[in-house]
Amino acid sequence: MKTSGLWRMLAVAAAVLLVASACGDDSADTTQAGPATVSCAPDQIDSTTLNFYNWSDYIDTALYDQFQEQYGVEVVESNYDSNETLISQIQTGVAYDLIVPSDYMVKIMIQEGLLYKLDKTALTNYGNLDEKFRTQPYDPNGDYSVAYQYGTTGLGVNLELVGDYFTPSWALLFDPELTQHFAGGVSALNDPRETMGAALEYLGYSLNDVTIEHLDEATQLIKDAKQYISVFDSDEYETNLANGVVAVAHGYSGNMINAIDSTDNPDNFTYILPEEGATLWIDNMAIPTVSNAPCTAHTFINFLLDAENGAQLTNYNYYGSPNAASVPFLDQEVVDFYADTATAKLEVITDTGDYEINFTDKFAEAKS
């Protein structure tokens, strides 16, 4: 869940394979070379406790009660505020059974040998997953992860302060000729990949562009726009938009829709995906190799892939559902809110390896 920004680690620790056998069960095969695998039957339970490491406020806890009633398993939730906190805990061997890493972090954790290869035979509801979410560049065959929720990064607009007639463009964030007229100015995410990526897209490049000259252009663009960017913020942007503190806020879809809905006049606001392109991000369920309950984790993934359970998840957090079977059960407001993702120009942020430090350095320069 995108509440604290998408920070890439500046350095990834040397690969360490942390493998724990299933508690009280011999189904986990960790002796073979190559990826760690686990063999599970449908609805198999290998522990009556599931330690779930997730973003905060990202699931209807009533689903835990339903799972416990059905399977006799207590779900114990812990929270993290960044993908980097997540991986550091797994690298040090903290035995979480199920985690929700974002797209690029899935790739890193696969490379580090930190994830089990899933046993799809245990996921009898896997066919409910929309086909376009079954394979992604960060996990090409969908071997290690199952999409949990997705969202976009765009712009929330206060129509009373901006007006009704504008082009859906990153110009609302980066063009001083426009932003100088907005009461309160605008806010940009305090996130190097998101904000540098938005600037790159406004300039006509990919947000994953690795040409240093193009990144220099994006840096200068932010510098020039900075006089009307009131704050670089990844925590309060939706509240500041809803309260009229800023006219335009750069941020994440689910946070925006919740904030807009909480206002007295939701029709005074809108959320747009800029025509130059925007970020599509996907959070995923994955089972770390430190899990003591990999089969129970499979069963919980399958539980959330159920059509009605998946809809209950999405209707709670207002992010996009990758579960095609859930669509008939979704609130129409959620369906309408994400309808434009089918035609929008969207990109998933990818890990750029050693080049990643340039995004961080140039973003710091742009803000200074």
Could you list the residue range(s) of the whole structural domain that residue 350 is in? 151-280+345-367
In a domain, 14, yes or no: no
Instruction: Enter the tokens of residue 51.
Output: 């330690």
| Shared domain check, 188 and 263 | yes
On whether both 56 and 107 belong to a single domain, the answer is yes
Are 43 and 186 in the same domain?
no
- How is residue 335 annotated by DSSP? H
Residue 8 lies in a domain: no
CATH number for the domain harbouring residue 225? 3.40.190.10
Q: Determine, yes or no, domain membership for 113.
A: yes
pLDDT at 31: 35
Q: Are residues 312 and 245 in the same domain?
A: no
Q: Are residues 265 and 331 in the same domain?
A: no
Same domain, 238 and 361: yes
Torsion angle of the four alpha carbons 179, 185, 186, 187, in this order, in degrees rounded to the nearest 10: 150
pTM listed for this prediction: 0.78
The pLDDT of residue 235 is 84
> Strand ranges (DSSP E) for 58-199?
74-80, 98-99, 146-158, 186-188
Residues of the chain with pLDDT under 70: 1-34
Q: Examine residue 18 and state whether it is found in any structural domain, yes or no.
A: no
Query: Are 103 and 171 in a shared domain?
Result: no
Query: Are residue 74 and residue 210 in the same domain, yes or no?
Result: no
> Are 216 and 199 within 8 A, CB to CB?
no
Do 144 and 157 belong together in one domain? no
**Number of domains present in the structure of the chain:** 2
- Asked if 76 and 186 sit in the same domain, the reply is no
| Alpha carbon distances (Å) from 214 to 191, 197, 278 | 18, 11, 17
Rounded to whole angstroms, what are the CA distances from 241 to 58, 68, 250, 273? Answer: 21, 39, 10, 16
Residue 180 falls inside a structural domain: yes
Burial of 72 (0-12, 13-18, 19+ CB in 10 A): exposed
Give the per-residue pLDDT at 339.
Answer: 82
12 inside domain: no
Same domain? For 114 and 240 the reply is: no
Is 19 domain-assigned?
no
155 plus 224 within the same structural domain = yes
| Segment 28-73, tens digit of pLDDT | 443 334 689 999 999 999 999 999 999 988 999 999 999 999 999 9
Structural domain includes residue 253? yes
